[in-house]
Chains A and B, each alone.
Chain A
Amino acid sequence: MLDVAVLLSIGRHPVSGRARRAATDAQALEMALALRPRRLTAIHAGPPTDGEALRAYLGMGLERLTHLVLSEGADPVEPLIAHLRQFDPSLVLTGRQAEDGEGSGMLPYLIARGLDAAVVPDVVRIGPADAPNSIPGAADLVQALPRGQRRALTATGRFVATIHPSAPPARASAYGPARRGVIEPVAAQATADLFLSDCEHRPWRPKPKLMRVKRGGSALDRLKAATESKSGKGQLLVNPTAEAGALAIYDSLVEQGMLP
């Protein structure tokens, strides 16, 4: 991978609410550093800050980081696209969702549309998988699926990848490099995000957990459904031979789709 850009945001600690490096963005930077690209561009777009959270990224081994300085409440998509077009990166890495702000997860898709690139969500590995025949000009990727499953796929041309939390963990941030690194502020023009200012915000109050209440039936049925654990009305084999028992288990597993 020749030319990699990483989009970094300022995260928010879920309990204390303090600014920190965003977890999946740090993993994206870790993956970018592990690829050893010829050129690595790290960009943050947002309102002016004191930069302590951004310095945590520099402490991971970055030398410089571009900060596109926007006004409060501005939409970062347009300035990011304009800035990325100057570099023309072949791969853009970012986290899947911002930890602060709107956090809709739309940014990678809008950037990809602006750069005319493909989007690959939930990537955990970039590089040759155990593929026997890989197409030249295509990148091999591994994607995380629910329930710990993995999917290999290839992406042709330029693409934007979002990183899944089960990707390799980010290295710790070191204090010295974090002080020595340079944050370059670049003034950028952006339009205000009217939709976001149109939303009304209030503190989140946890909702009661959704209970699966079974309606209908008699009161006794509903009480049983609510209190008893599911009891299988299953098949019972008493003292079969080992072969007969094994065959019953095998057939049941095939029926459940657990064995081919």
Chain B
Amino acid sequence: MTQPSPVRRRVDPRAERAARTILTGQRPRLLPQPVAVAVNGRRRDPRALRAAALVQIQPRPRYDWARDAASAGATAAVGIGVAATPAIPLQVIAEPAYLILAMLDRPGGEVSEHDRQVIAAARLLADAGGGAVVTVSTGSGDALAEAGSDRHVALPDGWADDYVPERRAAAASALMAALSPRHILFPDSPDGGDVARRVAAAAGERLFAGVQSLGPDRATRQSAGGSLEAGHRPTRLMTVAVDAFPPLDGVRHEARPLDLAAPVMAGEELPPRLGGARRLAVDPDALSLSETDFILSAGNGVTDWQSFAELGEALGATRAGSRVVCDAGHLPRERQVGASGMVVSARCYLAFGIAGAPQHLQGITGVRHVIAVNTDLHAEMIKRADLSIVADAQAVMPALIRLIRERRHA
């Protein structure tokens, strides 16, 4: 079967006629028309179509009818209707009229949602008059290009893990003196807000904390315990409240390293007065479900509660359960995940024997990584999970405990 070309060529009858014309004789002669292809283009070959759509044969045949027939035989596209994303045009601000500094947290090295929101707020100020956004954080600026950063100043890599806020504040003050930016924005997070207040106290400037809306000539924030809205011209130092600005989407900026005349990280003159910072071990079961990062959850498929408790201890995870488990009294009521319990936002959720009722899936909407162990292949939880294991929880739990203890002692 012939494949029609994706774009049909436009017929130019005059050119075709000219190509067939022979001028050598006494008068022009026309060659006869070429014979049309014998195959009828409108005729379908259902067997060939079916063969082209066949993706897998074992264990049962599966057809992907949405697939481009031209790529038959090549690897099947994942998902349905994957459109080629058009390239986002790069926006370059070569000669910025002024600079807006965005001091980012980047907790754990990754760009947080709040960091993106700060860059979006900085873009509001920068785009009003041809300014450029300069992000300041540890790590490279490559990840910040699509968040909307024009220039990037990388802080030393060693600063990412240790907590010395005085050093960060000194670096921010040094950058403020070196670049003389029009505004400096910080996230109003515990660490970012702390650094912002240190910088403001050192510079003797007013901090407009927790900005809720922002424009080139007016910024607002909540005051009097959230009952009043205070508006003012944007000050030089501001912190951006969480979830006040939508992060940018579909933009691409340069995020190229800013060449500074002198290294500004000279904030080492004073010995820091805070030191010896280290994380303390926290009892995972003492944390509430809404603030813990790692949840081990049990459902109706768990009968071996001894192993479940040991596994929670071995993993260092907060134990939780579905409604059935809490109704049966295996776990206290405040450990229930789901619509009638807690809506959790942990980073990792390890579920044993949970089928995935809609109410339960509602409770884990905000979870980033879900691992499910269940005996039923067709359970909703298996579809939701990032790693699904169809097995009995009573067999996997002791094996996992053994594995963790082995690796810990090795």
Contacts and interface: CB of A to CB of B under 8 A. Distances in A.
A69 interface: no
Contacts of B292: 147-148
Interface string A202-241: 1111010110111111101100000001111111111110
Contacts of A12: 224-225, 227
B365 A229 contact: yes
Contacts of B282: 148-150
Interface in A12-34: 12, 14, 17
Interface string B225-252: 1111111100000000001111001100
Contacts of A38: none
B207 interface: yes
A108 B181 CA distance: 26
A209 B242 CA distance: 11
A126 B386 CA distance: 42
Contacts of B213: 207
B347 interface: yes
Nearest to A99: B225
Interface in B6-23: none
Which of the listed residues B193, B249, B396 has the most CB atoms from chain A within 10 Å of its own CB?
A: B396
Nearest to B286: A148
Interface residues on B, range: 35 or more
B125 interface: no
Nearest to A135: B276
Contacts of A213: 246
Contacts of B225: 11-12, 14, 99-100, 103
A199 B231 contact: yes
A130 to B, nearest CB: 8
Contacts of B194: 119, 121
A122 B382 contact: no
Contacts of B315: 253, 258-259
Interface residues of A, number: 87
A253 B399 CA distance: 15
B228 A154 contact: no
A256 interface: yes
Nearest to A232: B386
B396 A249 contact: yes
B386 A234 contact: yes
B321 to A, nearest CB: 18
Contact of B201 (A100, A109, A218): A109
A102 B403 contact: no
Interface string B189-206: 110011001101110001
B300 interface: no
A82 interface: no
B223 A252 contact: no
Interface string B296-328: 000000000000000000010100000000000
Interface stretch (B38-46, B90-98, B171-179, B387-395): B387-395
B391 A109 contact: no
B64 interface: no
Contact of A153 (B163, B390, B396): B163
Nearest to B391: A245
Contacts of B291: 146-148
A51 interface: no
Interface in B254-278: 273-278
B336 interface: no
A237 B78 CA distance: 19
Contacts of A200: 230-232
Contacts of B280: 129-130, 142, 149-152
Contact of A242 (B212, B246, B385, B391): B391
Contacts of B245: 210
A118 interface: yes
B223 A242 contact: no
Given A198-B232, A239-B391, A249-B400, A148 B386 contact: no
A233 B78 contact: yes
A100 B347 CA distance: 35
A155 interface: yes
B388 A110 contact: no
Contacts of B383: 231-232
A204 B390 contact: no
A171 to B, nearest CB: 22
A155 B387 contact: no
Contact of B197 (A109, A135, A221, A252): A109
Contacts of B229: 201-205
A104 interface: yes
Contact of B273 (A147, A156, A203): A156
Given A106-B209, A109-B200, A246-B403, A216 B386 contact: no
Given A120-B274, A153-B275, A253-B315, 8 more contacts: A104-B210, A109-B198, A142-B280, A149-B279, A203-B228, A210-B245, A242-B396, A249-B396
30 contacts: A105-B197, A105-B209, A106-B197, A109-B197, A119-B194, A121-B194, A148-B282, A148-B288, A149-B282, A151-B277, A157-B273, A199-B232, A200-B231, A201-B228, A215-B249, A215-B250, A233-B78, A233-B79, A236-B390, A237-B389, A237-B391, A239-B390, A245-B373, A245-B391, A245-B399, A253-B315, A256-B348, A258-B294, A258-B348, A259-B315
Closest 5 CB pairs of A and B: A232-B386, A118-B273, A246-B399, A234-B386, A242-B399
